[in-house]
Amino acid sequence: MKKESGRFTLKLGAAICLTLFASNSISYACTTKVGAVLPTSVDWGRPIAETAQFVVEQVNESGGVSGCNVEMILRDTQVDPKVGVDAAKALVDLDGVQLLLGAVSSGVSMPILTSVSVPSNVMQMSCCSSSTAFSKLAEEGKTKGLWYRTFATTGVQAAVGAKVAKDRGFKTVAILYKNDDWGQDLNRLITRDFAALGIRVTSAVAINDGQPSYKAEVTNALSGNPEALYLGLYPNEGTAAVREWLSLGGTQNMIMANSLKSEDFRENVGLQYLGNAFGTDTASPRVASADEFVKLYKSHFGKEPSGPGLANSYDATMIALLAMEAAGKGSTGDQIASQVNRVTDPEGTPITADAAGFKAARTILAEGRNVMYQGATGNVRFDKNGDVSAPAVVWKFTDTGTKEIEYLSLTEVDEFIASMN
């Protein structure tokens, strides 16, 4: 019997492999591999991967999954669909994983789901994919029950973005959106919500990755002389587009999707230009388990979880590993997926989202009972499509990060969405 630690294997391309070891005194006779396809090459993606690994370390401290040490093998997607698919294929075909954590961005998660996870019968749990296209796919039976996500659909963020515009009295708005599944979905939904609130969209312009200049797109967006700009972009293209926008005399009244909640974006655009920029994001409910996550995260990382998707990454990883525990040693992807509702049962026995909670869950599940997971985003519940709903926040950049301007409970979010229909 060999002594194992919580392993975190980072694979970059096909050749480079880094393995980091976390202290663990438990001896294991077996190892269970799980795959993670996350964007570690971007500043906001690394903390998402580190949070997932933090969960793995706690699970291993509790005794592992089905008595085996959990090894998370991480491959960088670079927020690129092709890179993401290749990474997922390698994890499934070469490493033999039955569970994939990720991806981040619907435009990366969707091709992984349709070309790797579903054909290979592998469960996929995403922390950070919000396109409503996944719901439609599930309704059509094309996800085969293998898809779950802990991030609310784009509809929440679109509604709150429209609310920000309404609350600030904007009558006209231009939209710059990323030309992928997520961006197209967000553009469609927020255009609908702006119209419902009597706000006119002067132009909606798609932004493609990697262009040397966005002058033509920005000039198009400026043509209607909008009072505000809505940004459904990621930091790289978002920085370039906003710099172009400002240089051409565009307004500093901006509304940002949570994808721009990035230190790189703030620093590269300049805080002095973001004083009238308001961001939106889904949020954890104001419950004890969410507060405990913040304390746990801060004690481990030495700072609060202020980046996008961190609470969602924590819950996605913990729930997926609980389902793996419930399914039993050597389970296939569909068998793991079939246990998700058993470990997020509102009538089940409550557990905490930490090593002690996982250990307690192991006993509860072994006795044939169900678990009510109480996590970083509250008591997570999935609908028949693998979707969750969530509260929301409005935020602004500060010189040290971001600060919350407004919190909307799940009830308030649902009521506002209903008021537009």
- At residue 34, φ and ψ (nearest 5 deg) are -125, 145
Host H or E run for residue 207 = strand 200-207
What pLDDT was estimated at residue 336? 98
Same domain, 244 and 367: no
Which residues have C-beta within 8 Å of that of residue 387, sequence separation ≥ 6? 134, 135, 138, 149, 152, 153
Q: How confident is the model at residue 344 (pLDDT cuts 50, 70, 90)?
A: very high
Same domain, 7 and 123: yes
Indicate whether 374 pLDDT > 90. yes
Secondary structure percentages of the chain, helix, strand, coil, to 5: 45, 25, 35
Work out how many domains the chain is built from and give that number. 2
Structural domain contains residue 252: yes
What pLDDT was estimated at residue 26? 79
Indicate whether 193 pLDDT > 90. yes
Same domain, 163 and 143: no
Average pLDDT, the chain: 93
Measured distance CA(11)–CA(104) in Å, rounded: 17
Q: Which of 7-21, 163-177, 266-280, 389-403 has the lowest mean pLDDT?
A: 7-21
Measured distance CA(358)–CA(329) in Å, rounded: 16
Structural domain contains residue 292: no
Map residue 173 onto helix, strand or coil.
strand
Same domain, 129 and 264: no
What pLDDT was estimated at residue 181? 87
What is the CATH number for 42? 3.40.50.2300
Structural domain contains residue 388: no
Structural domain contains residue 384: no
What pLDDT was estimated at residue 389? 86
**Which whole number is the average pLDDT over 143-157?**
95
Indicate whether 23 pLDDT > 70. no
Residues 242-284 have pLDDT tens digits of: 999 999 999 999 999 999 999 999 999 999 999 999 999 998 8
Structural domain contains residue 288: no
Same domain, 332 and 316: yes
- At residue 264, φ and ψ (nearest 5 deg) are -60, -45
Structural domain contains residue 415: yes
Amino acid at 404: E
Q: Residue 384 class from Cβ within 10 Å (0-12 exposed, 13-18 middle, 19+ buried)?
A: exposed
Indicate whether 366 pLDDT > 80. yes
What pLDDT was estimated at residue 210? 86
Map residue 142 onto helix, strand or coil.
coil
Q: Which of 14-28, 253-267, 293-307, 401-415 has the lowest mean pLDDT?
A: 14-28
Is there a cis peptide before residue 103, judged by omega within 30 degrees of 0?
A: yes
Whether 113 contacts 124, CB under 8 Å:
yes
What pLDDT was estimated at residue 10? 57
Indicate whether 191 pLDDT > 50. yes
Structural domain contains residue 291: no
- Which residue stretches of 148-262 are H helix? 154-167, 181-196, 215-222, 235-247
Indicate whether 134 pLDDT > 50. yes
Task: Give, to the nearest 10 degrees, the angle between helix 235-247 and helix 215-222.
Answer: 60
Same domain, 87 and 174: no
**Which whole number is the average pLDDT over 327-346?**
97
Distances from the Cα of 124 to the Cα of 37, 97, 140, 141, 361, angstroms: 10, 11, 17, 15, 22
Q: Looking at per-residue confidence, does 43 or 276 come out higher?
A: 276
Q: What percent of the chain has pLDDT over 90?
A: 87
Q: How confident is the model at residue 421 (pLDDT cuts 50, 70, 90)?
A: confident
Indicate whether 369 pLDDT > 80. yes
Q: How confident is the model at residue 209 (pLDDT cuts 50, 70, 90)?
A: confident
- What are the tokens at 396? 């602004």
Q: Strand pairing of 371-374 and 349-352?
A: parallel
Indicate whether 12 pLDDT > 50. no
Same domain, 275 and 356: no
Same domain, 403 and 319: no
Same domain, 167 and 124: no
Q: Which of 22-31, 310-319, 376-385, 390-399 has the lowest mean pLDDT?
A: 22-31
Same domain, 160 and 143: no
Indicate whether 128 pLDDT > 60. yes
Indicate whether 18 pLDDT > 50. no
- At residue 146, φ and ψ (nearest 5 deg) are -95, -5
Same domain, 70 and 94: yes
In degrees to the nearest 10, what's the CA dihedral of 329, 317, 101, 339?
Answer: 50
Measured distance CA(179)–CA(184) in Å, rounded: 6
Structural domain contains residue 113: yes
What pTM, to 2 d.p., does this model score? Answer: 0.82
Same domain, 275 and 399: yes
Residue 322 lies in domain: 2-151+309-374
- What are the tokens at 77? 């997607």
Residues 165-174 have pLDDT tens digits of: 999 999 999 9
**Which whole number is the average pLDDT over 23-33?**
81
